[in-house]
Amino acid sequence: MAISGGGVLRRALVRNRARMIGSSLLFCLHQFCETMVPVAIGIIVSRAVETGDVTAMLLSLVGLAALFVVLSFAYRIGARIIVVAIEREAHLLRVEVARTVLDPRGIDSDLSAGELLTVGTSDAEKTSWILDVVARSASATTALVVTAVALLVVDVPLGLAVVIGTPLLLLVLQWCAPVLTRAATASQTEIARVSGLATDLVGGVRPLRGIGGEGAAARRYVEASRRALDATLRLARGNSAYLGLSATVGSLLAAGVAGGAGYLALTGRLTLGELVTVVGLAQFLVEPLSSLSRLPGVTAVVRGSADRIATVLGASPLVDDVVTAVDTDGTGDARAADPRPTVREARLDLHALAHGSLRGVDLDVAPGEAVGVVAYRPADAESLVAVLSGQVPLDPSAGRVGVGGIDVRSLPLAEVRRTVLVEPHAADLFAGTVRTNIVTRAADDARLEAAVAASAVTDLIELHDAGLDHPVTDRGASLSGGQRQRVALARALAADPPILVLHDPTTAVDSVTEHAIADGIRTLRARPDRATVVVSTSPALLAVTDRVVVIDDGRVVARGTHRSLSTTDTTYRERVLR
C-alpha cells in the first residue's frame, strides 16, 4: 500500500480533528484576548486616565481582569486538549509501526532493527507535533489579523504596514522551508542509523569481545556518530540563520510600526490612548511573528519524521497471504484453491527449490520422521532456513514448498505459521523470566516440563532459587551463550508444532550436554503426528535422525543415514566428524 509522509500527516489531522479544532478555537480566543489587552489599555488611558473618571477606571479594571481570566483559561484548556491529541496520535503511530514491523508476513525494508525502533518512538512522537503546528498556526494568524484590524481602525497606513509586511515576511520564510526539510530529513536519517548501529553493537558486545573487535566496532560507531553530528550541525546552522533572519525582519516590522506611531503622535494625528494602543500592539506583534517564523522549522522536522513513518507503513510485505490458483498436480491446470485449506498431516516436501544459493533442492520429510540436513556451505543452510521460515516470497519459478501435501502458496499464512516453526540459530530472548521466554503459546505443565528436560534447561533452573522464574534481562544478556541457546530450544519444543525446523541449536553447548539434548529432541518429537528437520553438522544431532540429506553448492549431493554416510562418504566424514 503506497503511503506518503503527507498522507500520514493528513490522516493524523483527520482522526484528531475534533480535538484539534477545539484546541485551535481556544488558542484563537486566547490570542484575540491577548491582542485586545493593549487595545483595552489604550481605551482606559483615553476614557479614564485622561479624564480622571474613577468610575470608568474601576469598570475598566474589572473588564481588563475579565479579559485576562478568559485568555488564561482559554490557553490552559486549549493546551490540555492539544496535548491529549498529540499523545494519542503518537500512541496510535507507535502501535501502527509496531504492528507493521511485527506482521507475520514481514516487511520489505532496508532499515535495521535500531532504525525501526527510532521510527516507532522518536519519529512517531515528532509526527504527532503536526497537531500543535496547525493549532499554533491558527492562533498566530488570528493574532496578526486582529492586530492588523485594530491598527487599521487607529490609522490606515499603520494597519497596511502589517497587512502588507506580514505576507511578505511569510513568503520569505516559506522559501526557506524546503531547505530546512531536506536538512531535517538528513539529520534524522543519520541519527536513526547511528542508533541502529548502537543497538546492534550493544547486542553483540560479547562476540566482539571474544574476537577482539571492540576497537573496530568503536571506530565504526565514531564514524557513524560523526556523520550524524555533521548532519545535525548543518540543520542547527540552517535553523539558526533562519530564526535570526525571521526575528530581525519581524522586529524591524514591529519597530517600524511603533516608530510610525510615535511620529503620528508628535504631529497630533494620534491621541495618547491611541499611541499606547499602537505601541502595545507593535510590541505584541513580535510574538505571533516569532511563532510563525519557528513553525516552518518544526514543520520540516515533522515532515521528515512523517516520511520515515510512511516508509515503514508503506513497505510491501515480504510474503503474500493470499489464496491463489495453484497447479498442484503438474497438469498445467491451475484451479482455485480451497479458500480455507488446512494442513492435516505433518509432511514437508520441497521440489526443485531455488532461492539464494540453492539451485533445485528436493527434500521430503514424512510424518513421524526426523531428517538431518548437512549444508557444507553456510549460505545453503541460510537460504533453506529462510524459505522454510517464510521470510521470502516464492514464485512458481522458485520451485515448490509443500506442507501437508498442499502448496504453501495456496495456504493462509496463519495456517503455515501454525504448522511450521523454524527456530533460527541466532534466537532472541526477551526481558522477563526463564518461564516467560519459554511459554509463549499455551502449554500445559507436562509439556513445559518435558521441553525443559529435553533442552537441558534443567541445569540452568537448578542453579537459581527462583527456578523457572529466574529473571532474564533484555536479549538474554544475563545468560551465557549456551544458556540462551537452550532456553530458545525449550521455547521451540514447548510450542510443539507439527513440523519443527532447528538450525544449529547446540553450537554453544558442550559435547556432553549436546548428546543429552539430541536424545531429548529425539524422544520428545518421536510421534507419528510430528516431523522434525535439523539443519546442522553436529554428529550428536545427526546420529538421532532417521536419515541425512547433504547439500553442497546449492544441490543435494548425498542421502543416507548418519552411520552409512560416515562410513562411505569421505567428504561427509571430513566435514562432520572432524
Rg (CA), the chain: 35
Say if residue 455's pLDDT is above 80. yes
Give the pLDDT of residue 335.
45
Q: Is the dihedral of CA 33, 36, 41, 44 positive or negative?
A: negative
pLDDT band at 41 (very low <50, low <70, confident <90, very high): confident
pLDDT band at 171 (very low <50, low <70, confident <90, very high): low
Q: What percent of the chain stands above pLDDT 90?
A: 38
Q: Is the dihedral of CA 148, 150, 152, 157 positive or negative?
A: negative
Say if residue 409's pLDDT is above 50. yes
pLDDT band at 323 (very low <50, low <70, confident <90, very high): very low
Q: 303-313: per-residue pLDDT in tens?
A: 888 998 999 99
DSSP state letter for 107: B
CA separation, residue 43 to residues 40, 286, 391, 454 (Å): 5, 22, 74, 88
Q: Which three cell numbers stand for residue 566?
A: 560416515
Among 169-183, 266-280, 417-431, 561-575, the range of highest mean pLDDT: 561-575
CA distance 328 to 411: 12
187 vs 576 pLDDT, higher one: 576
Q: Which three cell numbers stand for residue 23?
A: 484546541
Say if residue 389's pLDDT is above 80. yes
- Give pTM, 2 decimals: 0.65
Say if residue 574's pLDDT is above 50. yes
Three-class SS of 73-85: HHHHHHHHHHHHH
When the pLDDT of each residue in the chain is averaged and rounded to a whole number, the result is 82
443 vs 79 pLDDT, higher one: 79
What is the mean pLDDT of the segment spanning 133-158? 82
CA separation, residue 139 to residues 136, 364, 452, 471, 498 (Å): 5, 69, 63, 52, 62
CA distance 303 to 133: 11
Q: 518-556: per-residue pLDDT in tens?
A: 999 999 999 999 999 999 999 999 999 999 999 999 999
460 vs 324 pLDDT, higher one: 460
